[in-house]
Amino acid sequence: MIDELIDFHKKELNFYYLVTRKNKTWQTALINASFALAFIFYSLMLFMGEIWYGVWAGVCLVVAACLAKVFNTMTIKRLYPEVYTPWYQPFPRSAFNDMILMKFRKHVEDKKWDDKKWDMIQAAVASVAERQRMSLIIYISAVAALILPVWGIYAVKMISKFDNPPYDLTKGFVTMIMLIIVMAIIPMQVAWMRDHIFSNYGRLTRFNKLITDFRLLV
């Protein structure tokens, strides 16, 4: 029963499956190409020490994000016109969540579960989510412990190869600042990827909130 509800939420009530996965093939290809270019430029910056490659990597990431928003909006207009707003306006999260809530209500309305049953379901979902979160925290912490020192050694080695003219020193300083920024951003990105891509923690947490909203509705 729990597995069936979790699977239904994953395949029928998730933004990725409702919208992003239904983008046209050429749209997905353009977004992936932008991310690939960003990775290539970022790699060139690391290996060649030219900051401008990093700037182009950032431009590619911005383009990818804009394309994703525009294409997702086009898909919403095509499939869910009742919650459509233009891409340049804030996403109608409330209306979209209401649509998901109605879909979930339709799916479970014939089950006639009482409050005790729903309490058990929510406790089970929360338990599964927490187990996935804790196991992934341990994994990511171990990976970070191996990767971060390598980054530090790389930065030191890279600067030690400079001939010390003003240009090289400036380039080294800017590179170090960028590396510090990257190191500051990585934990936030890892946390997001942990909860939304590499584990079901984020999705299960949202599912529990959906159940709470449904119980308040009925």
Listed by start position, the domains of the chain span 2-19+80-217
pLDDT digits (tens, 9 = 90+) for 158-199: 556 555 555 555 655 665 665 555 555 555 455 555 555 556
Of the spans 47-61, 71-85, 148-162, which averages the highest pLDDT? 71-85
pLDDT at 88 over 70: yes
pTM of the model: 0.61
pLDDT at 82 over 70: yes
Indicate the average pLDDT of the chain.
76
In this prediction, residue 74 carries a pLDDT of 92
Q: Quote the CA–CA distance of 40 and 53 in Å, as a whole number.
A: 9
Q: Which residues lie below 8 Å from residue 61, measured CB to CB, with a gap of 6+?
A: 34, 35, 38
pLDDT digits (tens, 9 = 90+) for 192-218: 555 555 567 778 888 888 888 888 876
3-state per-residue secondary structure call for the chain: CHHHHHHHHHHHCCHHHHCHHHCCHHHHHHHHHHHHHHHHHHHHHHHHCCHHHHHHHHHHHHHHHHHHHHHHHHHHHHHCHHHCCCCCCCCCHHHHHHHHHHHHHHHHCCCCCCHHHHHHHHHHHHHHHHHHHHHHHHHHHHHHHHHHHHHHHHHHHHHHCCCCCHHHHHHHHHHHHHHHHHHHHHHHHHHHHHHHCCCCHHHHHHHHHHHHHHHHHC
In this prediction, residue 33 carries a pLDDT of 92
Residue found by looking up tokens 């997905």 in the block: 28
Q: Quote the CA–CA distance of 122 and 2 in Å, as a whole number.
A: 9
